[in-house]
Amino acid sequence: MTINKHKDIIINKYNEYDEDERLVSDRGHNLEYLTTMRYIEKYLKPGAKILEIGAATGRYSITLAKMGYDVTAVDLTPKNVEIMKSKSKDLKNFRCMVGDALNLRKLQDKTFDMVLNLGPMYHLFNKKDKNKAISETLRVAKKGAICMFAYLPCASLMSGYGLRHLAAERLGEVMDNKGRFKDIPEEIFNAFHIEDFKKLFEKTNTKYITNVATDGIAYAMREWVEQLSDKGYEAFLKWHFITCERLDQQGYSAHLLYICRRK
């Protein structure tokens, strides 16, 4: 099968990148994992069948399988799938495969109690593909299933890339008069205003639950987070978990999590 140029760009990126290590490399990055797992566990029911789309090397999926859930993991990058296979040899309740979020043809309709789309929305650069990724996620979800979609806010792109990497001038060249950045398929990452991401679900068979700042201000202020004492970090975590659904915490979070229920 021939893959298109943008898929090549994504696969090449993740062939060279250790996504599994990113989530535990420091407190700022680990907060994304801790918060996402907190919400996954909040909505999981005993015996649930889980699908993760864009599972990378299985940090979430394999953890959930070890907790006893029936888990299927899909990732676009063959290298990541091979890593998942090697890490899950003794898990009878875990399966993984190479697959595309835009075409989950190997998976049947209304199969899963929870569907986690924790990466693909970062890399889609036209409205058709964005809608297709959402519709495929919802297609394989059972009625009443919880679906979670990770995405990047425009503010984090400016703060994390524009400021930290001195690339604000470049972003300014592709920014519209509302602070959105143009869809550029040659790039790796895409970003949304929160209200624009929510609009993608207006005509879907879903009920909105919440929107979560999974790493909050820890991303923009990671140097200070790392300097906290253990007790100080515990206090920060407590505050973050209490406030991460507040609108005033969401714009500058590096990652956001949109949670809905399939009708």
CA separation for the pair 64, 70 (Å, rounded): 8
Predicted confidence (pLDDT) at residue 3 exceeds the cutoff of 50: no
Number of domains in the chain: 1
User: Which of 118, 72, 129, 69 shows the shortest CA–CA distance to 98?
Assistant: 72
Q: What is the mean pLDDT of the chain?
A: 91
Task: Answer whether 218's CB lies under 8 Å from 31's CB.
Answer: yes
pLDDT band for position 9 (cuts 50, 70, 90): low
Question: What range defines the domain where residue 11 resides?
Answer: 5-262
First vs last Cα of the chain: how many Å apart? 35
Distances in Å between the alpha carbon of 96 and those of 132, 147, 170?
21, 19, 38
**Mean pLDDT for the stretch of residues 56-67:** 96
Residue of higher predicted confidence among 159 and 78:
78
CATH number of the CATH domain containing 255: 3.40.50.150
Q: Provide the whole-model pTM.
A: 0.92
Q: Collect all residues with Cβ–Cβ distance below 8 Å to 49 and sequence separation of at least 6.
A: 69, 70, 71, 72, 111, 112, 113, 114
Which two structure tokens, joined as six digits, stand for 13? Answer: 């990126």
Whether the predicted pLDDT of 2 surpasses 60: no
CA distance 123 to 183: 10
25 falls in which pLDDT band (50, 70, 90)?
A: confident
Structural element, H or E, at residue 209: strand 206-213
pLDDT digits (tens, 9 = 90+) for 165-183: 888 999 999 999 999 998 8
In this prediction, residue 113 carries a pLDDT of 98
Pairing of strands 112-117, 94-98: unpaired
- 214-244, pLDDT tens digit by residue? 999 998 888 999 999 999 999 999 999 999 9
**DSSP-based three-state secondary structure for 156:** helix
**Confidence at 186, pLDDT banded by 50, 70, 90:** confident
Kind and range of the H or E run holding 211: strand 206-213
Kindly state the average pLDDT of the residues 129-147.
97
pLDDT band at 93; cut points 50, 70, 90? very high
The amino acid present at 233, given as its one-letter code, is Y
The first and second tokens of residue 37, run together, are 């797992």
pLDDT of residue 164: 83
Q: Please give the share of the chain, as a percent, with pLDDT higher than 70.
A: 92
Give the phi and the psi of residue 22 in degrees, each rounded to 5: -55, -40
